[in-house]
Amino acid sequence: MADEARARKLADRIKVVVARRLDKGLRDPRMGFVTITDVRVTGDLQHASIFYTVYGNEKERADSAAALKSATGMLRTEVGRNISTRLTPSLEFIADAIPENAEHIEGLLRTAQEQDARVATLAASAQYAGDEDPYVTPRDDAEDEDE
């Protein structure tokens, strides 16, 4: 089993090689605007999971996923030429959910902000249920003598 630092270095190198190859362009018309976001290599350096995002709608994402799947062999060959390991790791392309997660979090923040505004509006027009000062105050001795 390789050490963790070597696996990280290999993952970074694979990320650069694959991104450079995608930047040159594949001859697949289905390929959209793909960004490699992360690469993770197993401890034995035999498998690389490549996370990517695609700018565009669902159809473009599906087309790009199919293009990456069909180009996996060619990309693995390119990786094998540019790394110095005994065996070339197998490649797996995984669509990264960063844009969807960010959109979901933005929606949650928007909802929370709207609810905060409603609560602030209600608090501005609210009145006390009882006395304004609900705490018991000590009586003055002068008041006790008058009674």
Could you report the per-residue pLDDT of 96-108, keeping only the tens digit for each?
887 778 889 999 9
Q: pLDDT confidence of 41, banded at 50, 70, 90?
A: very high
CATH (residue range 4-97):
3.30.300.20
The per-residue DSSP string of 89-147 comes to: PEEEEEE--HHHHHHHHHHHHHHHHHHHHHHHHHHHT---SS-S--S--PPPHHHHHH-
- H helix count then E strand count, the chain: 5, 3
Q: pLDDT confidence of 2, banded at 50, 70, 90?
A: low
Share of the chain above pLDDT 70, in %: 93
- Indicate whether 147 pLDDT > 60: no
Instruction: List pLDDT tens digits, range 58-75.
Output: 888 888 888 889 888 888
pLDDT number for residue 30: 81
- Indicate whether 5 pLDDT > 60: yes
**Measured distance CA(130)–CA(37) in Å, rounded:** 58
Average pLDDT score over residue span 80-88? 87
Average pLDDT score over residue span 33-61? 88
Average pLDDT score over residue span 13-40? 84
Q: What average pLDDT does the chain have?
A: 85
